Amino acid sequence: MNLNYKCIVYFLSLVLLIACSNQAEIKTPKVEETKTKENINDLGLDVSQEKLDRFGITDKDHLSAASKRALQWEYVENDWYRVFNAMKPLKGDLAHEEGVVRRDPSAMIKENGKYYVWYSKSVGKTDGFGGDIENDKVFPWDRCDIWFATSEDGWTWKEEGMAVPRGKKGAYDDRSVFTVEIMKHEDMYYLCYQTVKSPYNVRVKNQVGLAWSTSPNGPWTKSETPILSPADNGVWKGTEQNRFLVEKKGDFDSHKVHDPCIIPYKGKFYLYYKGEQMGEEILFGGRQIRHGVAIADNPKGPYIKSKYNPISNSGHEICVWPTKGGIASLITTDGPERNTIQWSPDGINFEIKGAVKGANMPHAIGLNRTLNAPDDNPTQIFDWGLSHVYNNWHEQSIMRFDSYRKTSHVAKGAKKPDGKKKETTQKDN
């Protein structure tokens, strides 16, 4: 009896366990289904059969978070997709030179039958912050002046000389002038650039200067004061030279304003820049770097920061150009939206339009402003341009990049979706 009794108890327990398990399995899908349908209605997702088929979604009542994001994408075409080829060395004076830093090329313009480019130039090894910051060179872009070069073909360059020197001792730009950008407007030429005042310590606040001339060859007249400065609402913690110790971080640009670029747009002048925040963090997308814009009625300012800043969640060097009636921006290097091309109809509110393949991505692009960016090919401006490379920490040089528009993915010799046999490459541009 004891054995039979144990068997009966075991059998009943097993039946009860199975029943409970089945009951749980029956109820779970109903909960998920109800939740999914509510989310579809709340988000206003396009669940048309055409859209579902394109994304390979076969059950609209059971959507993962990824599928919901895909159905929310406003733009899923490939007009903005670019693939960069490996960069190629330049000839002449801009070829790699031992002991010399040439970096952060500006955009190129073409005047007098020649291409012009401006860039940061310094000499000597980079020491860092461990020694005598009064006399050492703490970064490759420290102790720079702005130089320029010309070329007839974009390959062989002649260094023409210094364009904008560092300021006199005590001036806001007495330590370094670097990361320059060019703008031509109504027969005047404008160079905007970063500035640093000595001593160059880790808490120093970079600013933006401006110079102008009636000729790309100069001479250049410099602004007596910065045209853009960091926000002043951050508070350092203590006096130790540690840029990560803060009591209050302040605005996204409370520490530094970098990589300025001025674009004439809708009768005004939009100064785009990179902001660094006091106490900068490493977030889930990398360094906490974002972009901002300041707007003026006159090229010389005053520039007023937009109330909508920051205007990006990611990025590093500024790379912006007008297209399709708005402003496009290449977002690289830092943040969760890096390696994307974004576009704004008003120069402030940017949306992701496409991704860019990370391989061979140029660092610190100097756009070729002689190229167009038409509505049907808004990234054509990337057909070729300039960028810098790190030969090593003490030497950097400027090289040439090129890229091609990729609109489909096919095997060699296979037909493209439109019936053409080969993919568009740089050789076809």
Q: What is the pLDDT of residues 25-70, one digit of tens each?
A: 444 445 455 555 555 666 678 888 988 998 899 999 899 999 998 8
Average pLDDT, stretch 261-281?
Answer: 97
Q: 208 or 413: which carries more pLDDT confidence? A: 208
* CB 364 within 8 Å of CB 103: yes
Determine the pLDDT at residue 139: 97
Q: 14 or 299: which carries more pLDDT confidence? A: 299
> In terms of domains, do 60 and 159 share one?
no
Task: Give the rounded percent of residues in the chain with a pLDDT score beyond 90.
Answer: 75
| pLDDT surpassing 60 at residue 13 | no
Determine the pLDDT at residue 428: 38
> In terms of domains, do 188 and 129 share one?
yes
Q: What is the pLDDT of residues 369-415, one digit of tens each?
A: 999 999 999 999 999 999 999 999 999 999 999 999 988 888 888 88
In a domain, 77, yes or no: no
| pLDDT surpassing 70 at residue 18 | no
- Count up the domains in the chain and report the number: 2
> In terms of domains, do 42 and 154 share one?
no
In a domain, 229, yes or no: yes
> In terms of domains, do 88 and 15 share one?
no
**Of 30, 53, 72, the domain-final residue:** 72
In a domain, 176, yes or no: yes
Could you check whether the bond before residue 310 is cis, i.e. omega within 30 degrees of 0? yes
Q: Give the C-alpha separation, 78 to 353, whole Å.
A: 8
Average pLDDT, stretch 283-307?
Answer: 96
Could you check whether the bond before residue 302 is cis, i.e. omega within 30 degrees of 0? yes
Average pLDDT, stretch 193-216?
Answer: 97
> In terms of domains, do 138 and 9 share one?
no
In sequence order, the 6+-apart residues with CB closer than 8 A to the CB of 146 are: 118, 119, 120, 121, 162, 163, 164, 165, 177, 178, 180, 191, 193
Q: Which CATH number is 385's domain given?
A: 2.115.10.20
Determine the pLDDT at residue 44: 78
Instruction: Give the pLDDT band of residue 130 (cuts 50, 70, 90).
Output: confident
Determine the pLDDT at residue 72: 84
Average pLDDT, stretch 347-372?
Answer: 93
Instruction: Give the pLDDT band of residue 76 (cuts 50, 70, 90).
Output: low
| pLDDT surpassing 50 at residue 426 | no
> In terms of domains, do 60 and 93 share one?
no
In a domain, 346, yes or no: yes
> In terms of domains, do 116 and 57 share one?
no
> In terms of domains, do 215 and 153 share one?
yes
Of 97-106, 208-217, 251-260, 348-357, the poorest mean pLDDT is in 348-357
**Of 48, 72, 96, the domain-final residue:** 72
In a domain, 252, yes or no: yes
> In terms of domains, do 237 and 335 share one?
yes
**Of 72, 98, 125, the domain-final residue:** 72
Pairing between strand 156-164 and 91-92?
parallel
Mean pLDDT of the chain: 89
Structure tokens at 289: 């770097």
In a domain, 55, yes or no: yes
Q: What is the pLDDT of residues 161-182, one digit of tens each?
A: 999 999 999 999 999 999 999 9
> In terms of domains, do 399 and 329 share one?
yes
Cross-strand pairs, 349? none
Q: Give the C-alpha separation, 12 to 271, whole Å.
A: 77
Average pLDDT, stretch 275-301?
Answer: 95
In sequence order, the 6+-apart residues with CB closer than 8 A to the CB of 247 are: 235, 236, 237
Q: Give the C-alpha separation, 7 to 187, whole Å.
A: 99
| pLDDT surpassing 50 at residue 423 | no
> In terms of domains, do 136 and 179 share one?
yes
> In terms of domains, do 204 and 254 share one?
yes
Domain that holds residue 258: 82-428
